[in-house]
Amino acid sequence: MEERRIPAISSYLKRNMIYIPTVIEKASGIRVNGKLIRSLVFSTDVAIIKNINADAVIAVYPFTPQPVITQSIMTAADIPVFCGVGGGITTGKRSINLALHAEFQGAMGVVVNAPTSNDVISEMVDTIDIPVVVTVTTAKTDILERIKAGASILNVSGASKTPEIVATIRKDFPDIPIIATGGPTDESILRTIEAGANAITYTPPTSAELFSTLMEKYRGEL
């Protein structure tokens, strides 16, 4: 069957928005409570989140998770948000409480860091009613124990080794949903999808980088 053309409409003021790489559309996606998610923007910048066409947000940051940050992101976002709730420095009951608070604020899911213990994951799963996404950074991770603990989705973030890690997981666990970092190029994204990733995390340019380009344009016009 011939692929149907999808009409595209964009307003004048939205012409500078960020578009995710179209190659991500080749991913199967993960359907979470009826919503199909192929692309996730990795950002906590509400201006970026408000002006990108990703399917969802993965809001993970290198500080102790704070509900006010979660609330700010979900207030600005018009797409589902997966919130980081710690698992490294911030762990145990505090992470579980943060996960419950994120659910109450409307998060689609919560993301725990790679060091999170299986006991914490298990208790978190018993406490909340949204998916727990478990981050995987190495092929040495005991995936079976993560799944037994209740991981709904795996979030693979292994830098250049991501496709290799994804392929290893997919070989042993053909049905587990996998989100993975896609890398900087269409080729690296496609390689990750072909390895078995269902959805891709995309890191957009920063506001400073985008502003630099815009300011060069303004200077030229003046």
Residue 198 has what pLDDT?
98
**CA Rg value for the chain:** 18
H/E/C letters for each residue in the chain?
A: CCCCCCCCCCCHHHCCCECCCHHHHHCCCEEECCEEECEEEECCCHHHHHCECCCEEEECCCCCCCHHHHHHHHHHCCCCEEEECCCCCCCHHHHHHHHHHHHHHCCCEEEECCCCCHHHHHHHHHHCCCCEEEEECCCCCCHHHHHHHCCCEEEECCHHHHHHHHHHHHHHCCCCCEEEECCCCHHHHHHHHHHCCCEEEECCCCHHHHHHHHHHHHHHHC
Give the chain's domains with CATH numbers. Answer: 17-221 (3.20.20.70)
Read off the pTM: 0.91
The backbone torsions φ and ψ at residue 82, rounded to the nearest 5 degrees and listed phi first, read -105, 120
Once rounded to an integer, what is the mean pLDDT over residues 176-191?
96
CA angle, residues 185, 138, 191, in degrees to nearest 5: 25
Residue 45 burial (CB count, 10 A): 16
Once rounded to an integer, what is the mean pLDDT over residues 78-104?
92
User: Using one digit for the tens of pLDDT, what is the confidence trace for 26-67?
Assistant: 999 999 999 999 999 999 999 999 999 999 999 999 899 999
Q: Is residue 125 over pLDDT 80?
A: yes
User: Using one digit for the tens of pLDDT, what is the confidence trace for 128-145?
Assistant: 999 999 999 999 999 999
Q: Which of 85, 73, 186 is nearest to 131 (CA)?
A: 85
